[in-house]
Amino acid sequence: MTDIIQLLPDHVANQIAAGEVVQRPASVVKELLENAIDAGATDIKLIVKDAGKTLIQVIDNGLGMSVTDARLCFERHATSKIKEAEDLFNLNTKGFRGEAMASIAAVAHVELKTKQENEELGTCLKIEGSQVTSQEPDCPAKGTSVAVKNLFYNIPARRNFLKSDTIETRHIVTEFQRVALAHNDISFSLNHNNSEVYSLKSGNLKQRIVGVFGGKTNEKLVPISEDTDIININGFVAKPEFAKKKRGEQFFFVNDRFIKSSYLHHAVSSAFDGLLGSGYHPSYFLYLQVPPESIDINIHPTKTEIKFDNEKHLYAIIRATVKHSLGQYNVAPVLDFNRDASMDTPYALEGKEYSSEPKITIDPNFNPFDSGTNQQTYTQSTPTKKTFATNGFQSQQLPEWESLYTGIENDVFETEKEPQQVTLNLETTEEEKKTGKTFQIHQKYLLSSIKSGVVLIHQNLAHQRILYEEFLENITVKEAASQQLLFPVEISYTKEEISLLKELQEDLENAGFLFDKIHTDSIVVKGIPSSITESQITIILEQLLDDIKEEVPDSSFSQLDVISKSLAKSLAIKTGSKLNEKEQESLVNNLFSCKEPTVSPYGKKVFETLTIGELDKIFNAK
């Protein structure tokens, strides 16, 4: 019998490894940027074309590589960071993964140019699909330039599974932001399709955060600082009033490496208890320094998840530190929540001394049951003790008290002797018949009667369908109604979001939005659709940007469709909203006037019908 197990060729093994390391263009960006940082670079440039599908180039002014190192860096398991297994638990560098460059070279055309400072000549190395096509002397600038072209050119299936350019660009920008935020002492720049997206100069941590997320971020930040034996914490959290519905600005860095940790995220969120509205998430930029031997960063291929030795201690320290900073900078509310302003000293009297005690005016003879009008007022500086008995209260008022109850006893006895028969009247009046067609159940569902039985409607999903078709028609067929704002609203966004809003400007204007100006870090809204209010502008646009970035759903046939769905989701009646009878009937009528009333814009069932026969089966009735 012949042998059936065989060793894979190196180029096939590299392609398989690339599936784990190179998931998308952003994975290449991450590896190349981290290698440049480990090379001691102080200035790093990232150049991207067509969302990384055509070109990803990283240029740094680091140490550079020798001719031998330039060739060896593309071999599997070749690294300058690890010599023994114990080194895995004492890592202070980033790009130590041995198969990263080999995996990138297996699925793309790679051109490497590098030169060391003390050398007169450098090296230019070209690789296509793990095969070295040329290696020649060159004279580039000090440092290294790695250009990755035609990513996944030899794996068409992987290339077809990439998302749209908008989605892939967002992932690249996200990786760039994570690396740039972790190294504020290095200058970074990002150029996409010959357009500069970021140009970040070296500076302090706050300057880097403001440079990445815009100038308006400066006023939002509250500093965090705490040093303990097991962890050092520095960074910033955003004030509660700037919290957002989306989870976009939450960053944890451990030893200058971005990580994800739902456990530590919960520690920060719990510090904001009572400060945030329902559904809002705090923004934070926290930098943790822990001993390298106390963490394991190899539990996830992308190294974004870390195992801590003492998670519970870190949880308590982070929660207490954030809570302390919120209170220290007067962000947390004071204890006296229900202070009565009427009890405050008037401004005109504040600081003055009183010469005498205030006089109290009372009438000791006052009787609320006395029908007479002769009331006397009595003024004294200090009240005297006087009982009602000295005024003859009991003897004079008793007859009038008794007169109040005249005839009540007879009524009580008659009621006891002749009890009325209580019957349940199930017959409806003509008025009830007119208004009793639709009922709201738990402020979530609508129950309506039809000829064949009853229909149960989900009010939120139904309203989404109605608004979706309205917005889609307004954007594509007719011009939507817009209302002018008395005072234009200025909203701050990142450069990435501003560029996305510029792409969406025409479609948003067709939907009813009007923009006065679009700056580099903010927009000015002067008109909004007639169906929304001024307070909803920020929430709706944030939700829209989030949906466009995520392209929800991915199979959406156009950007107009995504805009219509996002606006419908943001403006639809929420669960818990109470509707009157006219609103209920209007919602039902508008739903069944839609082209596709059975499903929501996101494909969920909107209503369920129960026929008379199905109802009879439930109750075993004929």
Q: How far apart are CA 447 and CA 453, in angstroms?
A: 11
Nearest to 106, CA basis, from 8, 191, 192: 8
Q: Which residues of 241-259 are buried (b: 16+ CB within 10 A; e: fewer)?
A: ebbbbeebbbbbbbbbbbb
User: Among 43-47, 181-185, 347-351, 407-411, which is the least confidently predicted range?
Assistant: 407-411
> How many structural domains does the chain have?
3
Residue identified by tokens 């805009």 is: 563
Cα–Cα distance list, 8 to 1, 5, 13, 15, 301 (Å): 21, 10, 6, 11, 22
Sheet containing 221-227: order of strands: 221-227, 232-238, 284-289, 250-254, 257-259
173, with CB counted inside 10 A (0-12, 13-18, 19+), is buried
Last residue of a domain, one of 272, 300, 328: 328
Q: How far apart are CA 11 and CA 340, in angstroms?
A: 76
Pick from 492-496, 555-559, 598-602 the range whose average pLDDT is largest.
Answer: 598-602
pLDDT at 17 over 80: no
| Greater model confidence, 359 or 485 | 485
Please tell me whether residues 188 and 319 are part of one structural domain: no
Is 399 a domain residue?
no
- The pLDDT confidence band at residue 513, using thresholds 50, 70 and 90, is confident
Residue 572 confidence (pLDDT):
87
Helices 459-476, 559-571: inter-axial angle, 10-degree rounding: 140
Please tell me whether residues 157 and 266 are part of one structural domain: no
Given a contact cutoff of 8 angstroms between Cβ atoms, the answer to whether 164 and 551 are in contact is: yes
Residue 4 confidence (pLDDT):
79
Residue 100 confidence (pLDDT):
81
Last residue of a domain, one of 311, 328, 345: 328
What backbone torsions phi and psi does residue 148 show, to the nearest 5 degrees? -110, 115
Nearest to 58, CA basis, from 78, 30, 79, 77: 30
User: How does pLDDT run across 292-327, given as a tens digit for each residue?
Assistant: 888 877 656 666 777 888 888 999 999 999 999 888
| Greater model confidence, 388 or 511 | 511
Residue 412 confidence (pLDDT):
46
pLDDT at 222 over 80: yes
User: Among 51-60, 352-361, 444-453, 532-541, which is the least confidently predicted range?
Assistant: 352-361
What backbone torsions phi and psi does residue 574 show, to the nearest 5 degrees? -85, 155
Is 385 a domain residue?
no
Q: How far apart are CA 123 and CA 80, in angstroms?
A: 19
Q: How far apart are CA 582 and CA 434, in angstroms?
A: 11
pLDDT at 445 over 60: yes
- In what helix (H) or strand (E) does residue 135 lie, and over which residues does it extend? strand 131-138
pLDDT at 278 over 50: yes
Residue 98 confidence (pLDDT):
54
Residue 555 confidence (pLDDT):
43
Please tell me whether residues 227 and 315 are part of one structural domain: yes
Indicate which CATH number applies to the domain containing 223.
3.30.230.10
| Greater model confidence, 228 or 406 | 228
Residue 385 confidence (pLDDT):
45
pLDDT at 415 over 50: no
Q: How far apart are CA 161 and CA 22, in angstroms?
A: 13
Q: How far apart are CA 216 and CA 521, in angstroms?
A: 8
Is 70 a domain residue?
yes
- The pLDDT confidence band at residue 6, using thresholds 50, 70 and 90, is confident
Task: Name the H helices within 405-536.
Answer: 408-417, 430-435, 459-476, 495-511
pLDDT at 61 over 90: yes
Q: How far is CA 60 from the centre of its chain?
A: 34
Indicate which CATH number applies to the domain containing 19.
3.30.565.10
pLDDT at 84 over 90: no
Q: Which residues of 512-541 are buried (b: 16+ CB within 10 A; e: fewer)?
A: bbbbeeeeebebebbbbbebbeeeebebbb
Please tell me whether residues 300 and 449 are part of one structural domain: no
Q: Which is it for the CA torsion 125, 93, 142, 117, positive or negative?
A: negative
User: Among 23-37, 358-372, 398-412, which is the least confidently predicted range?
Assistant: 398-412
Average pLDDT over residues 97-120: 86
Please tell me whether residues 587 and 566 are part of one structural domain: yes
Please tell me whether residues 311 and 460 are part of one structural domain: no
Last residue of a domain, one of 200, 215, 244: 200
Tokens of 53: 């599908």
- The pLDDT confidence band at residue 561, using thresholds 50, 70 and 90, is confident
Please tell me whether residues 196 and 214 are part of one structural domain: no
pLDDT at 150 over 90: yes
Helices 165-182, 25-38: inter-axial angle, 10-degree rounding: 20
Please tell me whether residues 43 and 164 are part of one structural domain: yes
Is 429 a domain residue?
no
Given a contact cutoff of 8 angstroms between Cβ atoms, the answer to whether 29 and 52 are in contact is: yes
User: Among 109-118, 259-268, 321-330, which is the least confidently predicted range?
Assistant: 321-330
- The 3-class SS string of 28-91 reads HHHHHHHHHHHCCCCEEEEEEEHHHCCEEEEEECCCCCCHHHHHHCCCCCCCCCCCCHHHHHCC
Residue 145 confidence (pLDDT):
95
pLDDT at 59 over 90: yes
Please tell me whether residues 109 and 183 are part of one structural domain: yes
Residue identified by tokens 């608004």 is: 467
Given a contact cutoff of 8 angstroms between Cβ atoms, the answer to whether 515 and 525 are in contact is: yes
pLDDT at 19 over 80: no
pLDDT at 158 over 80: yes
pLDDT at 520 over 60: yes
User: Among 215-224, 278-287, 399-408, 583-592, which is the least confidently predicted range?
Assistant: 399-408
Please tell me whether residues 465 and 592 are part of one structural domain: yes
> How far apart are the two ends of the chain, measured CA to CA in Å?
73
Residue 85 confidence (pLDDT):
55
| Greater model confidence, 318 or 506 | 318
Is 139 a domain residue?
yes
Instruction: Using CA atoms of 299, 301, 302, 304 in order, give the dihedral in degrees to the nearest 10.
Output: -10
613, with CB counted inside 10 A (0-12, 13-18, 19+), is exposed
Residue 617 confidence (pLDDT):
85
593, with CB counted inside 10 A (0-12, 13-18, 19+), is exposed
Residue 424 confidence (pLDDT):
36
pLDDT at 204 over 90: yes
Q: Tell me the sheet residues that pair with 145.
A: 59, 113
Q: How far apart are CA 86 and CA 431, in angstroms?
A: 84
Pick from 11-15, 210-214, 411-415, 416-420 the range whose average pLDDT is largest.
Answer: 210-214
Please tell me whether residues 168 and 31 are part of one structural domain: yes
Is 233 a domain residue?
yes
Please tell me whether residues 191 and 120 are part of one structural domain: yes
Is 333 a domain residue?
no
Task: Label residue 407 left, alpha or beta by phi (over 0 means left) and psi (-120 to 50 means alpha).
Answer: left
Q: Which domain holds residue 587?
A: 439-609
Average pLDDT over residues 330-356: 60
Nearest to 95, CA basis, from 60, 68, 66: 60
Is 415 a domain residue?
no
Query: What value does the mean pLDDT of the chain take?
Result: 79
Residue 387 confidence (pLDDT):
45
Residue 347 confidence (pLDDT):
60
